[in-house]
Structure 1
Amino acid sequence: MTHPKIAIIGCGAIGTTLAYSLLLRHPHLDIALVNRNPQKSWAKAFDMSHCSPELPDRTIRSETPEECTGADVIVMTAGALPRENGTRADVLKDNVAIFQTLLPTLARNNPHAVLINITNPVDAMAYAAGKITGYPSERVIGTGTELDSMRLRHFTAQVLDLNATELKIQVIGEHGDSMVPLWSLATYRGQSLREICPALDEELKATLLHQTKRAGWDIRLAGEHSCYGIAFSATRIVETILGHSFAPIKISAEIQDEYGLSGTFLSLPTQLNLRGIESRIMPSLSSSERSQLEQSAKIVKKQLDDVDKLL
């Protein structure tokens, strides 16, 4: 029996954490690590392979872009980090160049894969990946606001003394400063959050959203790089594609007239399968949330225009 193959491109903290998470959680899986420095991917895969006596019926190995074939899912984690005093545009230019180097070979050798992008800026780089590979839009996604949704649930549960696993708050739109929290639909144990937690006023919501937006930078300022939360988000996305979960997940993809918008990449709750996007779900938005989403769409569209200029 052929196991699903997951190719993880980039062996930094995110890529290796994702590989280890998948290795621990799922038998019947083949994992390939691909890195521009093959020594690094070999060392990481070699190290993780030593778990095999206690983790049967799964494999992990190192491959070059040329050797990587037959992947069901490709996860892009390779990319440049923001430079000190640098800009988002700097990172975009650097990362588009990296994708142009890696993706043509990977796309040619894996013509039916679903591509998940983690590299920042997530929405714009997912768009770039689609343009470079020529994959159909339903097979190109970004990790989007799945992590933002988890972070906001975590911070909200902390301040309100709630069980985060029973708290449902969705974040949609850009993975960035224009993300849109859907407070109007937030629930706790099936009840409206605003009804059972009157302390959650507009000032507190703004504080919690600011924490969510700043989380990655706060980790960076502490001298570390965010990897565990995003790797876990990507793990959940892979699991959904493989059919281990059927719950909608907040991923970024090309907008196809949802909410009357088009020509941009935004996160919405989405049903996934081995062919990529099965369906996009449009939550009922308040007028304020609708306005925020429209603004988010404009901001991401400007990033996509910048990508077009670089390709």
Structure 2
Amino acid sequence: MRKIGIIGLGHVGAAVAYTLVTKGIADELVLIDKSDQIVQAEKLDLEDTQAGLVTHTQITTQDYTQLRDAAIVIMAAGDISIFSDGKNNRQAELKITSRIAEEAAPKIMASGFDGILLDITNPCDVVTTYLQRLTGLPQQQVFGTGTVLDTMRMRRAVAGELQVSLQDIQGYNLGEHGESQFTAWSTITVATRPIKEVLAQHNTDITALEKTIRSRAWQIISGKGFTSYGIAAAAVTVVQAIFSDAHITLPVSSWNAEHQLYIGQPTLIGRAGVLSTVDATLSAEEQQAFNNSATYIQQNLDSLAASQLQ
């Protein structure tokens, strides 16, 4: 039984649920949200959707005990009000989402859940680290979407710049899913050719291209107030990798033993969750960017710990 729980039925959680249902990926969904009205409406809408499908997904709502035999629980709760001024107030975001994690984690574990906990809730790396601490689940069973979406945006931008297929672009964006993430150009190839060699032939301004990649989210947020489809696709990609035991390398937010926190890094994903992390041969400049990103995540974790002492 491919059973998935989704906690948080806002724009992102709803988009994930819709994708899982329409692609026939989940046999059973457990939908949980702070609003009974919203979760019931989403259930009804998804049931109507299935009238036009050849697959079936059983949907239950507002029952944490149903998570006991879920293969995957997706944490997608948040509060889009943090974008009300057009900027992401990371401290305000963490204050809200850390409380959500504190409320949800005991209920998840009380159900007897022992599957994979996939975090989308932001700040992704901080909340993923916090959720692992709160649940006590093994580190390989807890991870976040990390820089999967950032990598998707990078591949789209590079393919558009070079007018080639997305499938020809391989490589990663790494680090925090946030402002300190970076494009690891040394990992990127275009049909096996090093990216910098190809971009040089096209007289591409790499600095401008990276800025385009990094600003993509804010372009979307400034237009509709949130992002949803891209991150939903990233989460579903991870879900499919788990269910199919794909042994695929994705830049999820996984446990980094050196920095003792979760961060976006190349990670081998299969049915058991994180199978291993994969060493990326980074340039000295990129390694420093990765370390800086880890430091930023740690600072947010430290601020969370400090706020709990007040």
Q: Distance in 2 between matches of 1:246 and 1:19?
A: 24
Q: Distance in 2 between matches of 1:199 and 1:150?
A: 23
Pair 1:217–1:109, CA change in 2 (3 A): same
**Is the contact made by 1:74 and 1:113 (CA closer than 8 Å) also made in structure 2?**
yes
**Is the contact made by 1:117 and 1:142 (CA closer than 8 Å) also made in structure 2?**
yes
**Is the contact made by 1:168 and 1:187 (CA closer than 8 Å) also made in structure 2?**
yes
Which residue does 1:52 correspond to in 2? 50
TM-score, length basis structure 1:
0.91
Q: Distance in 2 between matches of 1:285 and 1:237?
A: 24
| From 1, 4, 9, the counterpart of 1:6 | 4
Q: CA deviation at 1:141?
A: 0.7
Paired amino acid for 1:58: T
Divergent runs of 4+, >6 A: none
**Is the contact made by 1:4 and 1:30 (CA closer than 8 Å) also made in structure 2?**
yes
Q: CA deviation at 1:267?
A: 1.1
Q: Distance in 2 between matches of 1:266 and 1:241?
A: 19
Q: Distance in 2 between matches of 1:170 and 1:232?
A: 17
| 2:63 counterpart of 1:64 | yes
Q: Provide the secondary structure at the position in 2 that maps to 1:168.
A: strand
Paired amino acid for 1:275: A
Paired amino acid for 1:180: F
Q: CA deviation at 1:298?
A: 1.1
Paired amino acid for 1:294: N
Q: Provide the secondary structure at the position in 1 that maps to 2:265.
A: strand
Pair 1:244–1:113, CA change in 2 (3 A): closer
Which residue does 1:234 correspond to in 2? 235
**Is the contact made by 1:265 and 1:301 (CA closer than 8 Å) also made in structure 2?**
no
Pair 1:175–1:155, CA change in 2 (3 A): same
| From 155, 158, 168, the counterpart of 1:156 | 158
Paired amino acid for 1:224: G
Q: Distance in 1 between matches of 2:27 and 2:202?
A: 43
Q: CA deviation at 1:120?
A: 1.0
| 2:21 counterpart of 1:19 | no
Q: CA deviation at 1:135?
A: 1.4
Pair 1:27–1:195, CA change in 2 (3 A): closer
**Is the contact made by 2:20 and 2:26 (CA closer than 8 Å) also made in structure 1?**
no
Q: Distance in 1 between matches of 2:168 and 2:273?
A: 28
Q: Provide the secondary structure at the position in 1 that maps to 2:200.
A: coil
Paired amino acid for 2:41: A
Paired amino acid for 2:285: S
Q: Distance in 1 between matches of 2:43 and 2:92?
A: 31
Which residue does 2:30 correspond to in 1? 32
Q: Distance in 2 between matches of 1:151 and 1:28?
A: 26
Q: CA deviation at 1:200?
A: 6.0
Q: Distance in 2 between matches of 1:171 and 1:51?
A: 35
Q: CA deviation at 1:310?
A: 4.2
Q: CA deviation at 1:88?
A: 1.0
Q: Provide the secondary structure at the position in 2 that maps to 1:299.
A: helix
Q: CA deviation at 1:112?
A: 0.5
Post-superposition CA distance 1:201-223 (Å, at most 9, x none):
6x722222222222222211113
Map 1:56-135 → 2, pairs under 5 A: 56-81=55-80, 82-85=82-85, 87-135=89-137
Pair 1:190–1:9, CA change in 2 (3 A): same
Q: Distance in 2 between matches of 1:297 and 1:200?
A: 33
Paired amino acid for 2:20: L
Paired amino acid for 2:152: M
Post-superposition CA distance 1:83-118 (Å, at most 9, x none):
545721111011111221222111221431211111
Which residue does 1:282 correspond to in 2? 279
Q: Give 5+ residue unaligned stretches, structure 1.
A: none
**Is the contact made by 2:67 and 2:108 (CA closer than 8 Å) also made in structure 1?**
yes
Which residue does 2:40 correspond to in 1? 42
Q: CA deviation at 1:11?
A: 0.8
Paired amino acid for 2:96: D
Q: Provide the secondary structure at the position in 2 that maps to 1:262.
A: coil
